Chain A
């Protein structure tokens, strides 16, 4: 059974750093892209960027490039989304998702709350 299991909810202060994770199982982790998708409170889904775990090639949506970093460790079938300096506007639910098109499996989401 394909599963993407994400790390737990986080509460951070503005300016702090954060890395959240997404562990894949039930399939060959290097066979499919992992994307990260943001959902701000009461809003829709936004694609942030993706990584190819086989070679760690990434590409980002212009809206998120330079503000987040996507990485992966294929030895432990895990992808990451990280911020070096969080803002209050980063408060959102973040989902990881598998495959280029269509996205077929999603993680359960990680709620990130940034508040002073």
Chain B
């Protein structure tokens, strides 16, 4: 069961900015850092953001992350067709002693 809540969908036209929210609780987001993943079903998810707002090498700076309290968000600026995918947030959960994931957001480029 997903513990972090995300909107099921988000959309925008090419070039627009899209923001995805991720809501958790004191045992996960508030106490630990947040990561974000890009996922095309049937393929390996890809790490986009870690430690709330850090990008791994190779991830474009169009992707940015932030965190405040028990919530986090991912912003995609300059939306491109290849950004169509599912996006998941994740955070370590101190109660589970493992990571918890968001419910997932499907981004559509109109």
Contacts and interface: CB of A to CB of B under 8 A. Distances in A.
Interface in A61-116: 61-63, 93, 95, 97, 100-109, 111
A46 B1 contact: yes
Interface residues of B, number: 28
Nearest to B98: A47
Interface string B49-72: 011000010000000000000000
Given A47-B96, A63-B1, A109-B44, A104 B50 contact: yes
Contacts of B33: 101-102
Given A63-B1, A104-B56, A44 B47 contact: no
B32 interface: yes
A59 B56 CA distance: 28
A37 B88 CA distance: 13
A59 B98 contact: yes
A103 B35 contact: yes
A59 to B, nearest CB: 6
Nearest to A39: B41
Interface residues of A, number: 27
B98 A108 contact: no
A50 B47 contact: no
Interface of B: 1-2, 32-33, 35, 37, 41-47, 50-51, 56, 88, 90, 92, 96-104
A-B pairs with lowest CB-CB distance, top 6: A102-B35, A102-B50, A45-B101, A106-B44, A44-B104, A44-B2
A21 interface: no
A49 interface: yes
Given A102-B50, A102-B90, A104-B56, A47 B44 contact: no
Contacts of B47: 102-105
